[in-house]
Amino acid sequence: EAAINRIAAGEVVERPASAVKELVENALDAGAGQIDVAFADGGKTLIRVTDDGCGIAGPDLPVALSRHATSKIDGSDLLAISTFGFRGEALPSLAAVGRLTVTSRARGGDGACLHVAGGQMAEVRPAALTRGTVVELRDLFYATPARLKFLRTDRAEAQAIADVVRRLAMACPAVGFGLRDVTGGGDGRTILRVEAEAGDAHAALKARLAAILGRDFAQDALPIEAERDGLALAGFAALPTYSRGSATQQHVFVNGRPVRDRLLTGALRAAYHDTLPRDRHPAAALFVECDPHRVDQNVHPAKTEVRFREPAAVRALIVSALRQVLADAGH
């Protein structure tokens, strides 16, 4: 059982940033309004995610930490996954690769805490907590030095963590996010702090993009809104004059989940083809919404690729919508 967990864990947890992604997605699934992430030493010694979501009742903690114990899917419709998580593997995987402590309090219940390390689950103990959940992962890969060796520098891993949190924050403007590097103890250094955006979805998204991608991006970015054949596209695309020397300001989301996908970034490039030189990259935050049955977002548990049923239709929608707004803006 412990060996199986470790193998499965390797699929889900490649590096500190993948652990952060799973934990923040769980907090979002739990309906959190505020999510705070802290890490030390590039996430290698500590990752802590605190949320104010629905919490886990004490007696349910051992269940939540067991494999495939998810409550988020009933098996009848594996494809129609509307929540972020669905595999029921993240917490047990994290418990298999590090020292995991979950402290939580469900509404109307008492706070409780459970620690797992080296495949050994401790007893559920009472804990003081007003609400929500705190998941603490210490010493990632401590039992598998070979894996630890493959991690990059603390700086690079911290960067990857920040990228993950920024992307999730872009996808969820109504949720407040905090990210702190607490290496060496103490309050640490704030890397990101965004307040929950109120107001209608469009205004909230614009405000969140301004907070994450910068006022320069948000100020002149062209709003995108298009729909065709059950595919919807929304978001903001920068004017060609705001283009960058790298593709780091291209953010694409499918059904609310951040993805990295060649088809989508290729479509973005094609849309700007006539307005940008080859060495310049357009900046954009695009949100594709479609029937979950028309996209497989689970090609690999730790990866963020997607596979569309009709890739050509997705590409055509992005290219035509972006070309249209660029043309309307005189480009």
Q: Is 262 exposed, middle or buried (0-12, 13-18, 19+ CB in 10 A)?
A: exposed
Closest distance to ligand ADP from the beta carbon of 131 (Å)? 11
Which span (77-85, 109-117, 215-223, 266-274) binds Mg ion, by CB under 5 A?
A: 77-85
Span 26-45, contacts to Mg ion by CB under 5 A? 26
90 contributes a contact to Mg ion by CB under 5 A? yes
Among 19, 27, 112, 238, binds ligand ADP (CB under 6 A): 27
Q: Do residues 199 and 220 lie in contact, with contact meaning Cβ atoms separated by under 8 Å?
A: no
Asked if residues 233 and 321 have their Cβ atoms less than 8 Å apart, the reply is yes
Question: Can residue 133 be called a binding residue for ligand ADP (CB under 6 A)?
Answer: yes
The binder of ligand ADP chosen from 72, 244, 280, 323 (CB under 6 A): 72
Contact partner at residue 255 from ligand ADP, Mg ion, none, CB < 5 to 8 Å by partner kind: none
DSSP 211-272: HHH-HHHHHHPEEEEEEETTEEEEEEE--GGG-BSSSTTEEEEETTEEE--HHHHHHHHHHT
Number of residues near ligand ADP (by CB under 6 A): 23
Least CB distance to ligand ADP at residue 184 (A) = 27
86 or 177, CB closer to ligand ADP? 86
Do 87 and 301 contact (CB within 8 A), yes or no?
yes
Give the number of C-alpha atoms closer than 13 A to the C-alpha of residue 31, restricted to the C-beta side. 8
Tell me if 102 sits within 8 A of 134, measured CB to CB: yes
Closer by beta carbon to ligand ADP, 88 or else 176: 88
Task: For residue 258, give both structure tokens.
Answer: 């951040």
Provide the 3-class DSSP secondary structure of residue 157: helix
User: Of 232, 238, 243, whose CA–CA distance to 290 is shortest?
Assistant: 232
Q: What part of residues 83-102 is at the interface with ligand ADP (CB under 6 A)?
A: 85-91
Question: Would you say 75 or 245 has its CB closer to Mg ion?
Answer: 75
Q: Residue 98 binds what, of ligand ADP, Mg ion, none (CB under 5 to 8 Å, by partner type)?
A: none
Write out the residues near ligand ADP by the rule CB under 6 A: 22, 26-27, 29-30, 51, 53-56, 64, 69-72, 85-91, 133
